[in-house]
Chains A and B, each alone.
Chain A
Amino acid sequence: ETGVTQSPTHLIKTRGQQVTLRCSSQSGHNTVSWYQQALGQGPQFIFQYYREEENGRGNFPPRFSGLQFPNYSSELNVNALELDDSALYLCASSLDWVVNSPLHFGNGTRLTVT
Chain B
Amino acid sequence: GQQVMQIPQYQHVQEGEDFTTYCNSSTTLSNIQWYKQRPGGHPVFLIQLVKSGEVKKQKRLTFQFGEAKKNSSLHITATQTTDVGTYFCAGLNYGGSQGNLIFGKGTKLSVKP
Measured CB to CB, the residues of A under 8 A from B are 31, 33, 35, 40-45, 47-48, 50, 55-56, 58-59, 90, 92, 94, 97-98, 100-108
Q: Is the CB of A56 within 8 A of B43?
A: no
Interface stretch among B51-59, B60-68, B76-84, B92-100?
B92-100
Chain A residue at minimum C-beta to C-beta distance from B46: A102
**Minimum CB–CB distance for B54 against chain A, Å:** 14
Query: Which of A41, A92, A108 is in CB contact (< 8 Å) with B99?
Result: A92
Contact bitstring B72-113, A, C-beta under 8 A = 1, else 0 = 000000000000000010101000111111111110000000
Q: Is the CB of B42 within 8 A of A106?
A: yes
Q: For B1, what are the chain A residues with a Cβ–Cβ distance below 8 Å?
A: 59
Q: Is the CB of B44 within 8 A of A105?
A: yes
Interface size class of B (residues with CB under 8 A): 20 to 34
Chain A residue at minimum C-beta to C-beta distance from B102: A45
Q: For A47, what are the chain B residues with a Cβ–Cβ distance below 8 Å?
A: 99
User: Is B31 among interface residues, defined by CB-CB distance under 8 A?
Assistant: yes
Query: Which of B35, B44, B99, B103 is in CB contact (< 8 Å) with A94?
Result: B99
**Minimum CB–CB distance for A106 against chain B, Å:** 6
Q: For B98, what are the chain A residues with a Cβ–Cβ distance below 8 Å?
A: 31, 33, 48, 94, 97-98, 100-101, 103
Top 5 closest A-B pairs, CB basis? Answer: A48-B99, A33-B99, A42-B103, A56-B97, A97-B98
Query: Which of B45, B99, B105 is in CB contact (< 8 Å) with A56?
Result: B99
**Minimum CB–CB distance for B65 against chain A, Å:** 14
Q: Is the CB of A102 within 8 A of B33?
A: yes
**Minimum CB–CB distance for B44 against chain A, Å:** 7
In the bound assembly, the distance between CA atoms of A95 and B104 in angstroms comes to: 23
- Among B6, B45, B96, B104: residue with most chain A CB under 10 A: B45
